[in-house]
Structure 1
């Protein structure tokens, strides 16, 4: 008997285009549930079923253990196709045993953890249920269309602590045997059990407002949301980040830049922790070369314009054998947007331009450019992400 974690993700999304690989708290949205399944000791293998080249590329770049990509049929990836249709498609394709356990998990529920997956499978293996689903206990008062209360007596309104409420699907995951899925052609069958998850996991990401709420909740309940130990490369812009963006000239026309020494210590601490460091800037000056040499940076890339920053970072990733999601980058202006939108940990000074601050999941630092923002983010990486 095998236990398969199954994540169906389509390339098409009407409300949020390419939602499943849009950056959520430093990683593509689909990463969080795939990582939870991958980390769960009860799961033998993880399958991401997609029709999208872009999603397949992202999953492969993440290099998560036990994880493979299955290219689902386009006919089962339309707006009207059911999730069950792709489940049954894969079961037939992979010739799964009737006794195999199938865990359907949703990418739009990033709050799912390995502990919740293992806990649910432990409950399932006790043998009391034929299938089960994740729910939250909703302590809200519901009413019928005819003006009558559905789940309480309004003449004797209960206190919250005395009120059981109702179970509500949070859409995180469903567990069933292959035999049950094939018999009922449904994710649930037979005697159905409930695995309770925390109330904040009720948030599903179906529209832009959900996204904003989910990120706030995720950061509150997942202090390590930048993923501990995953940052292997730390990159920074120069002007407006390592400097205050001021342009200083002598009477002879020589250009000057003011750097903050605390940033130098930030780079040094990162290097001591085994994190590679570098700068990528659109300018090309001897001043930056001299500063980078003094800081002993691993990479100094200057003169990159028109989207070249992302290409340069990807070149470094290939050289280092890492993913772009294992990179932290600080930028402050629109020429940093492409790279900031792709890295695992994106950050900006407090005085960055508004377009940068609006990047979903970006870490807005408390300091302005030139005031030690690299040191601030370095401390965050080394304390929160280690």
Structure 2
């Protein structure tokens, strides 16, 4: 028996056009559920079913293993099409074993993790359920349109801590077998079990406001903090991080750069927390020197290309008596790759080079270079390690 994860993603969303590949926390939305499925050891295959060439290209660009694309029929990708229709289309085309486990994952559930999927698979296997769905425990009081209470007695209102609550389907995943899906023409059947997920995963991504709320929750609960050691040195690149990577020139030919004042305050906050600061850049200009002086950084290394950035960071570590694991660094381009891969805590702007975004464990920030990425990194990530 093998386990297959199936993620249907169509291109025809009306509320948020092409929402399945819209940027969510620095990545296309579908990236997060694919990542969760790929990282679940007990899942053997991850299938993305789409009718849209652009979505297919984005999925292929991730370079994940275990992932393949199924080109779904456009008739099963309409507003009126059910998810079951594309599942059955795939099962008819694939001819899988009847007892293979089949996990339907909704791409609009970016807060789903490999831990959640692993827990759901264990519930399915260990309790011998026919099918399993993910839910959250809601301790809210529900009523119907007639004014009748659904899950509590309003004349004996319980305290929240005494209220058992109601299990609410969050739409993240459903587990069944291939044979039963074919027999019942449904994602769920027979004796159904519940796999509980955290309450914050109840978010629906139907409108722009939902998107903003979900991104806040993602950053709060799920953004990875790779370093297990105390951060004692923060390093930033210049172009593409502290600036927008644009090249500006005056009529006299003077080079100009645009910096963000929020980043300036971030450097001050980092310094006041007792962490040393540094700038390491491949550029070598008086302008950068003046900006570094303004920021009061402890170290400035210019003209560092290729492996020079890592060498400069190691030199600072030696002077400070720390290890490279004690370093946090934000970079965006190929000449940052070596240093980003070595430090204890690495991050990049949302518009960083794709190869940089694929560094294992790197934190992808929601802001672009020059938009205040250092401030975001400090407030959302670094402050939690200090």
TM over 0.5: yes
Is 1:67 aligned to residue 46 of structure 2? no
Which residue is 1:174 aligned to? 174
Query: Corresponding residue for 2:112?
Result: 112
Q: Which residue of 1 aligns with 2:239?
A: 236
Q: Deviations over 1:112-138 (max 9, x none)?
A: 110110111011111431001000111
> What are the ranges of 5 or more consecutive residues in structure 2 without an aligned counterpart?
229-236, 260-266, 268-275, 291-299, 308-331, 339-345, 359-363
1:7 corresponds to: 7
Using the TM superposition, give the Cα deviation of residue 286 of structure 1 relative to its aligned residue in structure 2, in angstroms.
8.6
Q: Is the 8 A contact 1:257 1:287 kept in 2?
A: no
Q: Distance in 2 between matches of 1:259 and 1:383?
A: 26
Counterpart CA distance in 1 for 2:14 and 2:174 is 24
State the Cα distance separating 1:212 from its structure 2 match.
0.7
Who is 1:267 aligned against? 280
Flag the 1:287–1:193 CA change in 2: closer, same or farther, 3 A: same
In the TM superposition, residue 155 of structure 1 has moved relative to its aligned partner by 1.1
Q: Structure 1 residues 75 and 118 mapped into 2: Cα distance closer, same or farther (>3 Å)?
A: same
Alpha carbon RMSD of aligned pairs, Å?
4.4
Per-residue deviation, 1:154: 1.0
Q: CA deviation at 1:163?
A: 0.6
- TM-superposed CA distance for 1:197, in Å, is 0.6
Aligned pairs for 1:295-314 (under 5 A) are 295-298=303-306
Q: Gaps spanning 5+ residues in structure 1: where?
A: 229-233, 269-277, 280-284, 300-312, 321-325, 358-362, 367-375
> Contact 1:224–1:384 at 8 Å: present in 2 too?
no
Q: 1:315-341 deviations in whole A, cap 9, x for unaligned?
A: x79x99xxxxx993488xxxx9x99xx
Q: What is the CA distance between 1:102 and its match in structure 2? A: 0.2
Between the aligned partners of 1:296 and 1:86, the Cα distance in structure 2 is 52
Q: Do the aligned residues in 2 keep the contact of 1:176 with 1:187 (CA within 8 Å)?
A: yes
Query: CA 1:160–1:329 in structure 2 vs 1: closer, same or farther (change >3 Å)?
Result: closer
Corresponding residue for residue 370 of structure 1: none
Partners of 2:151 and 2:132 lie apart in 1 by: 23
Answer yes or no: is the 8 Å Cα contact 1:19–1:29 preserved in 2.
yes
User: 2: distance between equivalents of 1:330 and 1:241?
Assistant: 12
- Kindly indicate whether the alpha-carbon contact (under 8 Å) linking 1:25 and 1:225 is maintained by their aligned counterparts in 2: no
Aligned 8 A contact 2:349 2:373 in 1: no
- Indicate conservation of the 8 Å contact 2:280/2:302, yes or no: no
Superposition pairs of residues 73-88 of structure 1, within 5 angstroms: 73-88=73-88
CA distance in 2, matches of 1:379, 1:132: 38
- The offset of 1:377, in angstroms, is 5.9
User: Structure 1: how far apart are the matches of 2:63 and 2:162?
Assistant: 47
Conserved in 2, the CA contact under 8 Å of 1:33 and 1:113?
yes
Aligned partner of 1:185 in structure 2 is: 185
Given the alignment of the two structures, is residue 255 of structure 1 paired with residue 258 of structure 2, yes or no? no
CA 1:109/1:227 → structure 2, altered by over 3 Å: closer, same or farther? farther
CA apart distance, 1:239:
9.0
Structure 2 partner of 1:273: none
**Helix, strand or coil at the partner of 2:13:** coil
Contact 2:25 2:366 in 1 (8 A): no
Q: 2 CA distance for matches of 1:141 and 1:382? A: 38
Structure-1 separation of matches of 2:137 and 2:277: 50
Q: Does 1:102 align with 2:102?
A: yes
Q: What is the CA-CA distance between 1:223 and the residue it aligns to?
A: 3.0
Work out the CA distance in 2 between the residues paired with 1:150 and 1:378.
Answer: 45
Pairwise CA distance, 1:15: 0.5
Contact in 2 for aligned 1:3/1:45 (Cα 8 Å): yes
Residue of structure 1 equivalent to 2:323: none
2:367 to 337, 342, 347: 347
TM superposition score normalised by structure 2: 0.69
Aligned to 1:223: 223
Task: State the Cα deviation string for residues 309-366 of structure 1 (Å, max 9, x = none).
Answer: xxxx99x79x99xxxxx993488xxxx9x99xx99545357xx6xxxx6xxxxx6443
Contact 2:243 2:257 in 1 (8 A): no
Shift of the alpha carbon at 1:93? 1.1
Q: How many residues align structurally? A: 315
Structure 1 distance, partners of 2:383, 2:64, is 24
